[in-house]
Structure 1
Amino acid sequence: MPAVYEKFGVRFQYPENWAITDEEDEHWPRTVTVQSGDTGFWSLHVYPPLHETKPVVDELVAAISSEFADVEVLPAAETFGDTDTTGVDLAFFYLDLLVEAKIRCLRTPSGTLVWLYQAESREFEAIEPVFQAIAVSMLRTQVPLVE
């Protein structure tokens, strides 16, 4: 049975055996992260409504690029359930491991949602459907803004 997270206007389901951390719940952005038992994690950043997504994505990419050399960044669009999102796909090496990450965003009347999920490439391939299911469960309760 999945666990349920519900705070600051966001609700999502995640595997009950994953750890969850509310990193920020008083100031913007609000953040929460769920962590698999291995290298994978899914992290949500909630900004006020109408917050622009491009600067947030650029900031996240810059933070990752400052920690890891030769980060490959590709623009991306992805549909979760019936909801279209935009963002970037990333790939980089950490030690001898290839790490894959995806940043996705969506603006809603209640807030701007930006989520990042990443894992070592072999684990990523195995748990990407779980990451996607978390996003789908979250987006069921959100109404996208018409851009």
Structure 2
Amino acid sequence: MSIQTYDEQGLRFEYPPDWVLEETEDGSVRTVAVQAPDGLGFAVIQTDDSRPDPAEIADAALQAMRDDYPELDAQPVLETINDHAATGHDLEFVTLDMTNAASIRCFRTPRRTILVLGQWSDMGDAELPDQVREVVRSIEETE
């Protein structure tokens, strides 16, 4: 299986070659999003050079999801991503009659705080959850 590699401004991760990549920047915050061609799975990686507290950022992301999906189920999660202790939440919710799952992960490095939101729908390909998780697990800081 071939893979695309994003490697810009001290951030590197891998994603499926047919996914679409988009980048935006707003002050100290840079956002890179990759999305499956059918739109049923994606990952959004946000870096903030002002280094806010990861738990606060993960909780704010959870609250934003709750605002959109009041019925969502959430479980707190701790995970290691490339030697960084990430805090976050695993989510499940229903929208447009589709069951969706999402993962929020956030960690701080000496240079920045990195927030990752991965989401996928049960209407997508069977490998979609693994593809999104692989994007998340491949994130590393390069400078």
Please tell me the TM-score bracket, short chain as reference. 0.7 to 0.9
Q: Matched residues in 1 for 2:117 and 2:125: separation?
A: 13
Q: Supply the AA of the counterpart residue of 1:9.
A: G
- Partner residue of 2:130? 129
C-alpha deviations, 1:109-145, integer Å up to 9, x for none?
Answer: 1211110000113548622222232233223x469xx
Q: Matched residues in 2 for 1:50 and 1:125: separation?
A: 36
Cα 1:80–1:127 change in 2 (3 A) is farther
* Partners of 1:49 and 1:107 within 8 A in 2: no
- 1:7 Cα deviation after fit: 2.1
- Partner residue of 2:33? 33
Unaligned ranges ≥5, structure 1: none
C-alpha deviations, 1:60-111, integer Å up to 9, x for none?
Answer: 1222222223111210122345544221011111021111000011111121
Deviates further, 34-43 or 127-136: 127-136
C-alpha deviations, 1:26-56, integer Å up to 9, x for none?
Answer: 4232101000123100110101253211221
Higher helix share: 1
Q: Matched residues in 2 for 1:58 and 1:134: separation?
A: 21
Deviates further, 56-65 or 10-19: 56-65
Q: Supply the AA of the counterpart residue of 1:60.
A: A
Unaligned ranges ≥5, structure 2: none
- Partner residue of 1:66? 67
Q: Matched residues in 2 for 1:30 and 1:102: separation?
A: 19
* Partners of 1:49 and 1:109 within 8 A in 2: no
- Partner residue of 1:95? 96
Q: Matched residues in 1 for 2:116 and 2:68: separation?
A: 19
For CA contacts below 8 A with separation 6 or more, give which structure has more relative contact order: 2
* TM-score (normalised: structure 1): 0.82
- SS where residue 132 of structure 1 aligns? helix
Matches within 5 A, 1:77-96: 77-80=78-81, 82-96=83-97
Q: Percent same amino acid at aligned positions? A: 28
Q: Supply the AA of the counterpart residue of 1:74.
A: Q
Cα 1:37–1:106 change in 2 (3 A) is same
